[in-house]
Amino acid sequence: MNHLSFPSLFPLKTNRLKGVDPLSVSLKEATNLRRVTKKLKPSKATLQETAKNIYLKINQPFKDLFDTDLAEALTKIPEIGLAHAKTKA
């Protein structure tokens, strides 16, 4: 059993908290950490790369189980709305 006391794990007596209520300062800092300043919108290239990496990671195990590509199976589901790419002549 670890006999460390709670205050030794979370010391509240520091120089930056001198003269103020340590609990209110800790709560304010925790609130600032949780606040999201701006939502990041990923670029199109990032989305494409992520989708490609997910597909490449899942496709081979899927192909081993069902003897068909994941893309082929997904094109057969009308709710998804995927279609085969038309080849350019």
Closest CA relative to residue 68, chosen from 81, 53, 83, 58: 58
Domain locations in the chain? 51-83
Q: Scan for tokens 């597909």, then name that residue.
A: 55
Q: What is the pLDDT along the chain (89 residues), one digit of tens a residue?
A: 455 555 555 555 566 656 677 777 778 887 877 776 677 788 999 999 999 999 999 999 999 999 999 999 999 998 988 888 877 65
Phi-psi region of 38 (alpha: psi -120 to 50; beta: other; left: phi over 0): beta
CB 22 within 8 A of CB 13: yes
Whether 70 and 58 have beta carbons less than 8 Å apart is answered as yes
